Amino acid sequence: MSQPDLIVLFEHPEWQEPLFRALRNRNLSFDQFDLKRNSLCELDSVRAPLYFNQASPSAYTRGNTRAVPFALEAMEFLEREGARVLNGSAAFRLELSKFAQSQLLRKLKIPHPASILFNDASALRDHESVIEFPAILKPNQGGSGARMFKIESIEEVESLLESQPDLWLPDNLLVLQQYIEHDTENHGIVRMEFLGDELLYAMRVVTGGAFNLCPSEVCNPADPEGEGGSCQVPTGPKPEFYPFPEVPADIVEQGLRIMKEGRLDVGGIEYLEGPDGRRYIYDINANSNLRPSVAEAFGFDPFERVADYLEAQVAKQR
């Protein structure tokens, strides 16, 4: 079997097709490693000079729960065998834990919403003196805004989990995160997309109070009348996405520090502006769903830029 230049680990084919299309147009051979159904043997060898992880924590919302632990095992296997994996196991572990993200932001002294990790609702009372309500309840693993709730009390958490025990899935860990008031109807949040050591572009997302802010046009079509047929997470109000060229330099610098410390090669970092005028980073994404309709305003196709980056990294590995 011939050795490809690149192997892409993925779970959601519709999300990856724009990248695959960009890669097909180049003098670059690549293979696809589907995480939904695959296997590894300890005798397997590294087949490519470069691997690119595109696994998503939201796989469980599509019935592909086993793809996530398999992705982590596969990346750690490849790294132990000496392979270079972009957005590898360290980056993916960070993406899989909202609590670890909070720890990293605290270490970097970057303003962020405080978080409490728990595996039993009654244990929240151990931190009752520091919890501020309203708060956001979310899976520690995250995943496209799935199973997130705005909460007003510990009693509400207890009642919710008693009536909906499946909210503990996929990893039986939840996070109660400080809710920071912000303008959801006009300004929303800002998502910065990073590629390597530079900002690719930023966009403003008017949320309307929705939690599913996936920028993929598969999930949230550019056509406001379009159907998000491949998205398994209820969107509620449809978010609106706008180019945001005026992202402040200091928040870009914070994003670059996160990318470096989190060992992310490609990533999306989200922040919001609180009522005090401070900007709070609240989400770190290693699997970055790019939005061509926004990047077009900046004069480029984002997937072509990622393909350029991958081509350069393959050349470096050689």
Residue 110 has pLDDT above 70, yes or no: yes
Residue 182, pLDDT score: 84
The reported pLDDT for the residue numbered 190 is 95
pLDDT of the residue at 224: 57
Q: Would you place residue 145 in the very low, low, confident or very high pLDDT band (cuts 50, 70, 90)?
A: confident
Per-residue pLDDT at 293? 93
What's residue 222's pLDDT? 73
Banded model confidence at residue 311, pLDDT cuts 50, 70, 90 = very high
Longest dimension (CA), the chain: 61
Mean pLDDT of 86-91: 98
Among 75, 96, 64, 121, CA closest to 171: 96
Lowest-confidence pick of 102-106, 142-146, 243-247? 142-146
Look at residue 209 in the predicted model and tell me its pLDDT.
Answer: 65
Whole-model pTM? 0.92
Please give the full DSSP string across 94-114, using - where no structure is assigned. Answer: HHT-HHHHHHHHHHTT-----
Q: Which range, of 9-23, 36-50, 154-168, 203-217, averages the lowest pLDDT?
A: 203-217
Please state, in angstroms and rounded to a whole number, the distance separating the CA atoms of residues 164 and 174: 13
Confidence of residue 287 (pLDDT cuts 50, 70, 90): confident
Give per-residue pLDDT as tens, 113-138: 999 999 999 999 999 999 999 999 99
What does the pLDDT look like over 258-268, one tens digit per residue? 999 999 999 99
Query: What pLDDT shows up at residue 279?
Result: 96
Q: Does 170 sit behind a cis peptide bond, omega within 30 degrees of 0 on the bond before it?
A: yes
Helical H segments across the chain, by residue range: 13-24, 67-80, 89-95, 98-107, 154-163, 249-261, 292-295, 302-317
Mean pLDDT across the stretch 223-227?
A: 58
Of residues 276 and 85, which shows the higher confidence score?
Answer: 85
- What is the Cα–Cα distance from 85 to 83, expressed in whole angstroms? 6
pLDDT tier at 183, thresholds 50, 70, 90 = confident
pLDDT at 4 over 80: yes
Question: Which residue in 277, 271, 249 sits closest to 105, CA to CA?
Answer: 271
Distance of CA 206 to the CA centre of its chain: 18
Domains along the sequence of the chain with CATH: 6-95+311-317 (3.40.50.20), 114-178 (3.30.1490.20), 189-299 (3.30.470.20)
Is the pLDDT assigned to residue 140 strictly greater than 60?
A: yes
- Mean pLDDT for the chain overall: 91
The Cα 287–Cα 303 span in angstroms is 13
- Phi, psi dihedrals of residue 132, rounded to the nearest 5°: -110, 135
